[in-house]
Amino acid sequence: MKEKSSFKIDLGDITKHNVGQLKRLNTVIFPVMYNDKFYKDVLDLGELAQLVYFNDIIVGAVCCRVEKGGPPQNPGSVQQSLPSAGFRDKNQKKLYIMTLGCLPRYRRLGVGTKMLDHVFKLCEKIADIEAVYLHVQLGNDSALEFYKKHGFQVTSTVDGYYKRIEPSAAYVLEKVINGVTVAD
């Protein structure tokens, strides 16, 4: 393969014309199946949901949502539900990374970093985002290493987070934005 610097990595909107590509990518990249409502809702997220192109080939995607007052009870839903642990109060805002992944052949080429950089830029644009967080399945050591390299910390473990895969537990990883401290 070529040197990293000769690669062209771009982000693009998810539209009704390419949402099928996102669905196919997610079935290859993730052990979790997302329902049709997830893909319908992603179409309304704008910059929060992007495909990633490597030399004009779709190789991955990132999908996020802004949460206020706590993570949702249903992790597969784009819509916010009741507040829960990890938020200082109902007005605190965090950016939740629902999915961030790329095809195995394109890993370690800067694709994931490009998507995370996009997430961090979104945090600068969206008022009052205090942190970015996500779930990583126990045993996914390469993802855990990637996020730690980018300043995320494990803040908790959720047993039974995943319903149809093993291990069913997930780490909650969080990165503080704008110097605000992570709530205990």
Residue 121 backbone class (left: φ over 0; alpha: ψ -120 to 50; beta: rest): alpha
User: Which residue in 114, 92, 96 sits closest to 48, CA to CA?
Assistant: 96
Cα–Cα distance measured from residue 24 to residue 28, given in angstroms and rounded to the nearest whole number:
7
**Which one is catalytic: 34, 39, 106, 135?**
135
Phi, psi of 39 (to 5 degrees): -70, -35
**Is there a contact between 101 and 113 (Cβ–Cβ < 8 Å)?**
no
Phi, psi of 120 (to 5 degrees): -65, -35
Tell me if residue 17 is catalytic: no
**Which one is catalytic: 34, 39, 96, 106?**
96
Cα–Cα distance measured from residue 128 to residue 135, given in angstroms and rounded to the nearest whole number:
22
Tell me if residue 39 is catalytic: no
Tell whether omega for the bond before 167 is within 30 degrees of 0, i.e. cis.
yes
| Residue 142, amino acid | S
- Cα distance between the two ends of the chain: 44
Residues labelled as active-site residues:
96, 135
